[in-house]
Homo-oligomer: A and B are copies of this chain.
Amino acid sequence: MAQVKLSDIAKELNVSVTLVSLVLRGKAKENRISDKISKEVLKKAKEMGYQPNQMARGLRTGKSHIIGLVVADISNPFFGKIARQLENEAWDNGYQLMFGSSDENPEKSQRLIQSFVGRSVDGLIIAPTADSKEQIERLQQQKVPFVLIDRYFNDLKTPNVVVDNFDSSYEVTKLLIQKGYRRIAAISYSSGLQHIDDRVEGYKKALEDYSQDIDPQLMRAVTPENIDTDLQGIISELLSDDVNADAIFFATNIIGIKGLKILNKMNKKIPEDIAIASFDNPESYALFPTSITCIEQPIEEIGKKALQELLKQINKGKEKTETKDYVLKTKLLVGNSI
């Protein structure tokens, strides 16, 4: 059973396709279509189960009412939650989402973005990978509306919705110092991601400000690809008598979850054997016996703001859009892990 189209309805009622189109789009009044015919059309359309063909409509109007979402990995709960928030907000505004996972790989990201552009998405929400600056610049040239989330490029003027990574890390590190920890380690990604670097910088700044030594042995990084193998070794080293860390700051949820898993397996007591703090507050942490001190991101707000900002851009059309930068505040949740 083929989809019913405007012309099918028109034929049934012996009216023009245009009339049907106008009525169904609610433009009957302003085009002085009689109420009688209007009602008939509406009725018939419902009866026949008419669903507008969005490809045809999109081709004609140039709007797809689709938003493309590029994240590192949709199965990462952080991005999953953001996706969900975006979805809700988009749906309420008549949009739907397509998504793609970049795996922090710039080539993949590029393919995804260009594919979305080819599909004439009306806009993009992107959590950009490292080394994807050119892609974003190209997008700007192409005048495709987009908003960056979670990450950003500090030498690129783009609309971003991010959190105050530096300050948050600074605060949690400061707290650790105040609690008396003196060998505070940090484990981050060595991936060239600005927002991760910011987190590390915040950590370092706090150490400096409170006259702590910055020991390279304590500042460690894993690569996203080898995290599973890397992390085990790093944590062992940090806990060795040689390095002797008394606290670890995990710079992301993934690192945190995997890190805690490892500590669990090593039967380490927290905070007795080692204190823990983490960026992000994934649901998993609630299952850990000790409540984890963490920096909770306002995920709902990120999604909401990002979509609102994107819609603003989309609706402004060709007018110049001053690009707003949203730096949202995180929440420091102090648990028993420190």
Contact = CB atoms under 8 A, between A and B. Distances in A.
A52, A58, A286, A289, most chain B CB atoms within 10 A: A286
A106 to B, nearest CB: 16
A83 B76 CA distance: 11
A119 B54 contact: yes
A3 B99 CA distance: 22
Nearest to A51: B118
A98 B287 contact: no
A113 to B, nearest CB: 11
A89 interface: no
Given A99-B97, A118-B54, A84 B77 contact: no
A304 interface: no
A198 to B, nearest CB: 26
A6 interface: no
A227 to B, nearest CB: 13
B55 A64 contact: yes
B75 A1 contact: no
Query: A interface, how many residues as a size bin?
Result: 35 or more
B264 A283 contact: no
A248 to B, nearest CB: 15
A96 B115 contact: yes
Nearest to A114: B51
Interface in A64-101: 64, 66, 73-77, 80-81, 83-84, 87, 91, 96-101
A73 B84 contact: yes
A260 B287 CA distance: 6
A56 to B, nearest CB: 5
A79 to B, nearest CB: 8
Interface string A47-59: 0000111111011
29 contacts: A1-B141, A1-B142, A3-B117, A3-B120, A51-B117, A52-B118, A53-B59, A53-B120, A54-B118, A55-B64, A55-B119, A55-B120, A59-B59, A74-B80, A74-B83, A75-B80, A75-B84, A76-B80, A77-B80, A80-B80, A91-B100, A96-B100, A97-B99, A264-B286, A284-B286, A285-B287, A287-B287, A288-B288, A289-B289
List 4 tightest A-B contacts by C-beta distance, closest first.
A284-B284, A75-B84, A51-B118, A80-B80
